[in-house]
Structure 1
């Protein structure tokens, strides 16, 4: 099972931009995630095809389980 931390933002075109981080530290600290997302927006360090990131949309942990089928 693999886990990712997804940080979702809205850009100037009001489109969702997602950054995925592998193997997040758990338990996730919501205050640290919020601070990091605020800094990403304030620093303007990422740009998307729809313009700069303007607001936070959500953050979430996504788990994926793969089960091999023996043939």
Structure 2
């Protein structure tokens, strides 16, 4: 099972922008994630087709399980 930390933002156009990191260090520290998200916004690190990232939406851990089906 793989895990991914996804940080979701709004851009200037009001649309969602997702930045993801595979295999985050666990346990995930919510305060550190929030600080990183603030840095991404404050330093204008990412942009999108609808403008700069301007506001935090939320962060989440996504777990993915893949089961191979023999055919």
TM-score range, shorter chain: over 0.9
Structure 2 gaps of 5+ residues are: none
Superposed displacement of residue 34, structure 1: 0.3
**Aligned-pair RMSD on alpha carbons?**
0.6
2:3 alignment counterpart: 3
Superposed displacement of residue 36, structure 1: 0.2
Structure 1 gaps of 5+ residues are: none
CA distance in 1 between counterparts of 2:37 and 2:61 reads: 15
Instruction: Count matched residues.
Output: 71
- After TM superposition, the structure 1 = structure 2 runs for residues 1-71 of structure 1, keeping only pairs within 5 Å, are 1-71=1-71
* TM-score of the two chains, using structure 1 as the length reference: 0.97
* TM-score of the two chains, using structure 2 as the length reference: 0.97
CA distance in 2 between counterparts of 1:20 and 1:42 reads: 18
